[in-house]
């Protein structure tokens, strides 16, 4: 082999090694970003309440929020597998099942047709149901799959004859009254646990003033991008560096639990903020 051929061969090997390294790095980045958007994380939380009836001790509530038309596999089987593994007593959905910009009811249908008859499911609306223009079509779909819509409603949730209050607050875009006024009109029972489903966490002070014990919310998407020691970067309704973007918060006698949600809306990518299901176990303190 001539010196020129040796030189060309050496340069070719060097170039191929660089290409392989860059392709590998790019592949790892793509896999990481895909996992950030699709790798469901289950968060386990416990809520203790002194007045909780004994029959509700250990009662498991699955909190699901902000699906935004997203599919976890084509038929939602990945999401359903997670839910079935957790085996909750009830499922609570806190809005934005659909997306207001590109509304598609099929992901919701695929999810509900696999969950129907397995668990009682309760739902309240989010802002994207309002902006989609397909709220009534979604309501018809939810009714077909026996989902109870709790928009501005309160029901007795019973186990072995004992009750807690399960309340739902529709998104403020549907309401003429402020969240506090709507809750006051619902006549909360101070001698029972009052569990509220409400899409927006930023009204936590109104929930506390109305006497709610436990609130489940979504809407904030975990701040979309989360940074160590900083937290969420931006959430709708709260702006930059929101105070209430995920996790559990206490104000007075009220506990707020915020889901980071499952899907995306305006921003197509999550970072250090995987899709989340929350399993809340009620305990008698």
The answer to whether residues 208 and 275 belong to one domain is: yes
User: Collapsing DSSP states into helix, strand and coil, what is residue 282?
Assistant: strand
The answer to whether residues 148 and 239 belong to one domain is: yes
Number of domains in the chain: 2
The answer to whether residues 32 and 147 belong to one domain is: no
The answer to whether residues 101 and 193 belong to one domain is: yes
d(CA 260, CA 223): 8
Within 10 angstroms of residue 240's Cβ, the number of other Cβ atoms is 9
Enclosing H/E stretch for 205? helix 204-209
The answer to whether residues 110 and 12 belong to one domain is: no
Q: How confident is the model at residue 19 (pLDDT cuts 50, 70, 90)?
A: confident
The answer to whether residues 33 and 46 belong to one domain is: no
The answer to whether residues 149 and 217 belong to one domain is: yes
Share of the chain above pLDDT 90, in %: 84
State the chain's mean pLDDT as an integer.
94
The answer to whether residues 54 and 99 belong to one domain is: yes
The answer to whether residues 124 and 14 belong to one domain is: no
Domain around 17: 1-38
**pLDDT digits 0-9 by tens, 236-268:** 999 999 999 999 999 999 999 999 999 998 889
């Amino acid at each position: 082999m001539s010196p020129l051929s040796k030189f060309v061969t050496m340069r070719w090997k060097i170039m191929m090694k660089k290409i392989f390294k860059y392709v590998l790095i790019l592949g790892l980045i793509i896999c990481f970003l895909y996992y950030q958007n699709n790798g469901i994380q289950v968060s386990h939380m416990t809520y203790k309440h002194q007045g909780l009836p004994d029959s509700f001790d250990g009662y498991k509530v699955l909190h699901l929020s902000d699906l935004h038309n997203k599919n976890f596999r084509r038929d939602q089987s990945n999401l359903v597998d997670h839910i079935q593994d957790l085996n909750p007593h009830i499922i609570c959905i806190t809005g934005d099942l659909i997306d207001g910009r590109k509304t598609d009811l099929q992901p919701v249908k695929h999810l509900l047709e696999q969950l129907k008859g397995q668990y009682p499911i309760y739902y309240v609306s989010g802002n994207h149901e309002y902006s989609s223009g397909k709220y009534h079509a979604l309501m018809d779909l939810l009714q077909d799959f026996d989902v109870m819509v709790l928009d501005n409603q309160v029901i007795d949730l019973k186990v072995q004859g004992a009750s807690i209050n399960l309340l739902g607050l529709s998104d403020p875009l549907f309401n003429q009254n402020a969240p506090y006024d709507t809750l006051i009109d619902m006549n909360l029972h101070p001698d029972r646990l009052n569990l509220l489903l409400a899409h927006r966490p930023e009204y936590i002070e109104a929930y506390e003033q109305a006497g709610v014990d436990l609130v489940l919310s979504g809407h904030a998407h975990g701040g979309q991008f989360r940074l160590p020691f900083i937290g969420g970067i931006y959430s709708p309704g709260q702006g930059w560096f929101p105070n209430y973007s995920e996790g559990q918060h206490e104000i007075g006698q009220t506990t707020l639990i915020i889901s980071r949600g499952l899907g995306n809306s305006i921003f197509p990518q999550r970072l250090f903020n995987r899709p989340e299901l929350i399993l809340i176990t009620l305990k008698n303190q």
